[in-house]
Amino acid sequence: MLVHQPTEIASPVIDVRTVAATLDVDKRTAQGGIERLTKAEVLREITGYRRNRVWAADELFDVLDGDQPPTGQVGWLARGWARS
């Protein structure tokens, strides 16, 4: 299992191509990780398309907007992202 630092992807909006390139994994692996995060409700698919999809981490937007402190499922990620 690959373990990456939370600061490697510096955007609360991602797509498969960006994740694959940033983490140096194939697109299938990136898609699987995104699917797991979507099922865990960390990410939400925002295009509604079957191809060229984009996901957002809504809780990160709330943290970055100052609407809530970094807690819950993505609290560790929000703190890492804010330091980058």
50 in a structural domain: yes
* Short-list 10, 12, 5, 19, CA closest to 62: 12
CB 20 within 8 A of CB 27: yes
| Residues of the chain where predicted confidence (pLDDT) is lower than 50 | 1, 5-7, 73-84
Q: What is the pLDDT of residues 38-49, one digit of tens each?
A: 998 889 999 999
How many domains in the chain? 1
1 in a structural domain: no
Which domain range does residue 65 map to?
A: 10-83
Q: What is the mean pLDDT of the chain?
A: 75
Tell me the CATH number at 26: 1.10.10
CA distance 10 to 84: 7
DSSP secondary structure of 41-82 = TS-EE-S--SSS--EE-HHHHHHHTTSS-S-GGGHHHHHHHH
> What pTM value is reported for the model?
0.66
Amino acid at 33: G
